[in-house]
Amino acid sequence: MTPTGLKDWQTGRGASGPTLIPHIAAVDLFATINRLEVPFIVIQGGDDPITTTPLASAFFEHVEAPAKELVVIEDAGHFPHLTLTKEFLAALAGAIKQTDAGRRRAE
């Protein structure tokens, strides 16, 4: 993300965050999601102070799915898709390749 893009994103987050964050924080994902019928990937920032790696790992273990992958990006915080974009995209691409659709696309 470019510096201008990051600034724009932060401005938008500042405008919407006070309204959205309390609603997001009120959702108990452990009670909401037990099983998925699709592959499940969690890409976690290793230094995330908001959704800690132990919490993300516990949720990952809680969810049943036909295929699962937990990727921890070291030195990343809560927004690895913004701060370590190349690493995030590599993790996402690697997980997609492991799915049936990803394997068919590669053929």
Determine the distance from the C-alpha atom of residue 58 to the mean position of all C-alpha atoms in its chain, rounded to a whole number. 14
Instruction: Place 105 in a pLDDT band, splitting at 50, 70 and 90.
Output: low
Q: What average pLDDT does the structure give for the chain?
A: 89
pLDDT at 102 over 60: no
Please give the Cα distance from 57 to 72 (Å, whole number). 9
Which helix (H) or strand (E) segment is 11 a member of? helix 3-25
pLDDT at 19 over 70: yes
Which helix (H) or strand (E) segment is 73 a member of? strand 68-73
Instruction: Place 31 in a pLDDT band, splitting at 50, 70 and 90.
Output: very high
Q: Give the pLDDT mean for 93-106.
A: 74
Q: Give the pLDDT mean for 63-73.
A: 95
